[in-house]
Amino acid sequence: MTARPSRQCCYDSLKWIPVIFILALVTWSYYAYVVQMCILTIDSVPKKGKEFQIVNIIFYWYRGTMIYLCIYHPLLILFLWSYYRTMFQPTVGPPKEFYISDIEGQQIKSAQTIDERRAILVRISRQANLSLLTRHFDGSIRYCFVCQCIKPDRAHHCSICEKCVLRYDHHCPWTNSCVSYGNYKFFVLFLCWAWIFCTYVAATSLEYFIQFWKIVSNIEKNGDNIVPSSGKFHLFFVFFVSIMFGISISSLFFYHLYLTGKNRTTIESFRAPIFESGPQKEGFNLGWKRNFQEIFGTKFFKAIIPIPTTGDGVHYQVNSILLGGLEQPTTNPIRSNDNDNNIISPFIRSDADILPFE
* pLDDT tens per residue across span 94-137: 999 999 999 999 999 998 888 999 999 999 999 999 989 999 98
Residues near 236 by beta carbon (within 8 Å), at least 6 away in sequence: 208, 209, 212
Q: Tell me, what's the pLDDT at 137?
A: 87
- Tell me the catalytic residues: 172
**274 is a domain residue:** yes
Portion of the chain with pLDDT greater than 90, in percent: 59
- Do 35 and 146 share a structural domain? no
136 and 63 together in one domain: no
Alpha-carbon span 219 to 132, nearest angstrom: 70
> Looking at the structure, do residues 114 and 20 belong to the same domain, yes or no?
no
Is 243 inside any structural domain? Answer: yes
Task: Give the pLDDT score at 347.
Answer: 31
Residues 104 and 233 in one domain: no
Q: Examine residue 162 and state whether it is found in any structural domain, yes or no.
A: no
Tell whether 214 and 83 lie within a shared domain: yes
Based on the fold, state whether residues 72 and 211 are members of the same structural domain: yes
Instruction: Judge if 16 and 79 occupy the same domain.
Output: yes
Same domain as 25, residue 79: yes
Regarding whether 235 and 208 lie in a shared domain, the answer is yes
Assigned domain for 113 exists:
yes
Summarize pLDDT for 295-321 with one digit per residue, the tens.
999 999 999 999 988 788 999 999 888
- Domain annotation covers residue 166: no
- The verdict on residue 346 lying in a domain is no
- DSSP helix/strand/coil, 219: helix
What is the domain extent for residue 124? 96-151
Tally the domains of the chain.
2
Decide: residue 197, CB within 10 A, 0-12 exposed, 13-18 middle, 19+ buried: buried
